[in-house]
Chain A
Amino acid sequence: MSALRERLRISNLPKPARYSLGALGLVFLFLLPNKWFYEYLGIPLGFAYIPLYTTKNDMASVLFICTWIILLSLGLNVVVGYAGLLDLGFFGFFAVGAYVVALLTSPESKLLTEYNWLESPWPWLVAVPIGIALSLLAGVLLGWPTLRLRGDYLAIVTLGFAEMIRIVAKQQDWILNGDRGIPEVGHPPGSVGGEPLFSFDAKPYYWLALCVIILAVFLIRNLVRSRVGRAWVAIREDEDAAELMGVPTFRFKLWAFAIGAAVGGLSGTLWAGQANFVNSTTFSLENSILVLSAVLLGGAGNIAGAILGGFLVIYIPEWLRSVGDVFGLPETVTVGGSTYDISPTSLRFAIFGIVLIVVMIFRPQGLWPNRRRAAEIQHRKKEVAVGE
């Protein structure tokens, strides 16, 4: 049985089979936001949206949120999963990327209207690399003094950093325009039949983000399969031994931080393009925590796990919102004269919390862990069994 499963593993299939499977998967992903696709598959609408479609929100929007969260978890996975550095404020880098794009591309940006630093709004495509570069710089600036701190202290410092960015975004009036935010953020270029390709519809953004994810996965995979990835894992496993084996640990920790930050910033630039409006509310700490739970839920130290986790943390709550409609569950219940909202929509994060606990109890290594790491945790379990 297990031998058969071993033979059926995708990585053990012959190359052409693997490539065609991959291509099929990609086509599927690109078709996903289209309603007609479900009809074509023969899934009746309505009841049938249960497994895939969401009814409370446009499917393309949900998928786009999934993609930028997946990008964030890919970035955080480098920091937490590979290098083993606990970063609780990852959304700060997302904020840097989003604000850079907003400031450079919006005609309402104070850089234009008040300071005349810019002649006219820059194109989105030019702003993106700058956003990534500045996020990376933010990562280095934060990492330089703090990466010498031990694990839990690093956690609180990164958490503080993200809170500081949020507070600055909320209060700072001279450039970031406080809570009023920056509207009319630029869109990516391109047009189809005279109509701009990217405007408010989330579908093209989803496709764009999907391409970006593929590129990011390719690059990150190159990294983790090189000496850089080995250095990260060595640092995670035994930092002192790594240093004594010639690994410049500080430099590679800083790299992990910087790369994570750059990917996080990239996610922010994509998001800003679609959201069209940037202010501080998106950068709350809850979101940092959501991304961290995505990485650990999916399986830290595994790219596929990070993608799965990023998808689930958005999709489960969204899907729960539609479940109530489909089954005709009551929205409220009245107990002792008071009415309580028990719709899945309002309870979705509570349910998500239970999911997190249950998954961690039964699969502490995450849903799709690195095979080696899973073996390691199995090993620890056995040790306990013997010890008791």
Chain B
Amino acid sequence: MNIGELLRSFPELTVTGVTQGAIYALVALGYTLVYGVLRLINFAHSEVFMVGTFAALFTWGLFGLDSNTERPSIGVALLAILAAIVVAAVTSAAVALLIEVTAYRPLRHRNAPPLAFLITAIGASFVLMEVAGSLTVRRPFGVPALLPSKPLFDIGGWAVTPTQVTTVVVAIAMLVGLDYFVQKTRAGRGIRAVAQDPNTAALMGVNKSRVIALVFILGGLMAGVAAVFNDIKTGSTKFNVGFLLGLKAFSAAVLGGIGNLRGAALGGLLLGLIENYASALFGSNWRDFVAFVALIALLMFRPTGLLGESLGRARA
């Protein structure tokens, strides 16, 4: 236990924790959306995220940027990030939809038992990860330097870099947008209806297949955005980058109460903070360990997560 270290670098840990948490939250939304509607742990979601990281890299390649190029001007960097967000989000959404159509929909039509879905999810995950592994020769790819690394501001030790600001701002925008979409739009009402009672919703004229496809697309969009910022934050990507991050994001979703959108956001944020504080307290090797201990301890006391499960209820 190194409490001195925790106190000394508390501001820095908090800022990085929030940034990490924003990425977790975005990926966690994908798990939570699908779970809320289908009661299914979409194991392949981590690969949706992984594909996003490569799509972003590809986009930057089109800008002539790679890990060896000079840092571009702020304008170009922001433009490159924006383009990467669009490309990665669309690609990830397409992959998510592809998974739904090939791996889940046929099983639904056959009314397969829930565990069969888990296996096709694992199968889809294997396929995506291994194909990506083969295409990339299983080596890590560096990410071009984009935003300046100098802190944007530094108030009493609370230094925040442009990357961190962008990550958090975009994540919040996405969260608010998604919340609005689910709460206020017609399509969002359909999602909530199916989440609450699929059969009644179908009787009331909600197109279940379309709602499910929409849920996968939304989750994919969020994962794509998260992928861009994970690239920038970690500076590299690899074919198996989704595995641990997906696991963490799923934990975040459970922490907040799976099926609950705001819970996913809260869970991601908490997990990011806990991890960073824990790495200061116990050494960075133990951060994942502490994250899981926290998760299990929380589930002992609040068996349905912090905010409970309720995509269907009005609070979403």
Contacts and interface: CB of A to CB of B under 8 A. Distances in A.
Interface in B32-55: 35, 39, 41
A349 B111 contact: no
A118 interface: no
Contacts of A364: 107, 110, 112-113, 116
A76 B90 CA distance: 39
Interface in B135-156: 135, 137
B103 interface: yes
Contacts of A381: 110-111
B122 interface: yes
Contact of A160 (B39, B131, B292, B304): B292
A353 B110 contact: no
A357 B292 contact: no
A217 to B, nearest CB: 22
B103 A160 contact: no
B66 interface: no
Contacts of B126: 349-350, 352-353, 356
A159 B118 CA distance: 14
Given A149-B303, A152-B258, A384-B110, A357 B120 contact: yes
B251 interface: yes
A159 B299 CA distance: 13
Contact of A346 (B109, B115, B134): B134
Interface stretch (A56-64, A164-172, A256-264, A269-277): A164-172
A343 to B, nearest CB: 9
B82 interface: no
Contacts of A155: 41
B112 A168 contact: no
A376 to B, nearest CB: 9
Nearest to A154: B299
A326 interface: no
Nearest to B285: A171
Given A360-B120, A361-B107, A364-B112, A353 B303 contact: no
B289 A168 contact: yes
B250 A156 contact: yes
B106 interface: yes
Interface in A207-221: none
B32 to A, nearest CB: 12
Interface in B229-278: 243, 247, 250-251, 254, 258
A86 B113 CA distance: 13
B247 A293 contact: no
Given A156-B254, A163-B288, A383-B111, A357 B102 contact: yes
B158 interface: no
Contacts of B113: 364-365, 377, 380
Contact of B130 (A292, A347, A377): A347
Contacts of A171: 285-286, 289
B292 A163 contact: yes
Given A159-B247, A171-B285, A296-B115, A360 B134 contact: no
Nearest to A357: B123
Interface in B269-316: 285-286, 288-289, 292-293, 295-296, 299-300, 303-304
A160 B185 CA distance: 37
A354 interface: yes
Given A341-B137, A365-B113, A160 B296 contact: yes
A45 interface: no
A177 interface: no
Contacts of A342: 134
Contacts of B285: 167, 170-171
Given A163-B292, A293-B122, A384-B110, A349 B250 contact: no
* Contact residues on B (Cβ < 8 Å of other chain), bracket: 35 or more
B127 A360 contact: no
Interface in A137-180: 145-146, 148-150, 152-153, 155-157, 159-161, 163-164, 167-168, 170-171
Given A156-B250, A160-B296, A353 B125 contact: yes
B78 interface: no
Nearest to A151: B114
A208 B137 CA distance: 39
B286 A167 contact: yes
A361 B35 CA distance: 20
B115 A80 contact: yes
A360 B123 contact: yes
B133 interface: yes
B123 A356 contact: yes
A153 B111 contact: no
A297 interface: yes
A31 interface: no
B64 to A, nearest CB: 18
For A80, A155, A171, A360, which residue has the most chain B Cβ atoms within 10 angstroms?
A360
Nearest to A341: B134
For B124, B254, B289, which residue has the most chain A Cβ atoms within 10 angstroms?
B289
Nearest to A149: B303
Contact of B295 (A160, A347, A377): A160
A300 interface: yes
B135 A164 contact: no
Nearest to B109: A384
Given A161-B296, A171-B286, A341-B137, A357 B124 contact: yes
A293 B122 CA distance: 8
A289 interface: yes
B299 A350 contact: no
Contacts of B39: 152
7 contacts: A153-B303, A160-B292, A340-B137, A353-B122, A354-B123, A356-B119, A383-B111
Interface of B: 35, 39, 41, 102-103, 106-107, 109-113, 115-120, 122-127, 129-131, 133-135, 137, 243, 247, 250-251, 254, 258, 285-286, 288-289, 292-293, 295-296, 299-300, 303-304
Given A150-B304, A156-B251, A171-B289, 14 more contacts: A86-B115, A145-B300, A163-B288, A171-B286, A292-B119, A296-B119, A346-B130, A347-B131, A350-B127, A354-B123, A356-B123, A360-B112, A360-B123, A384-B111
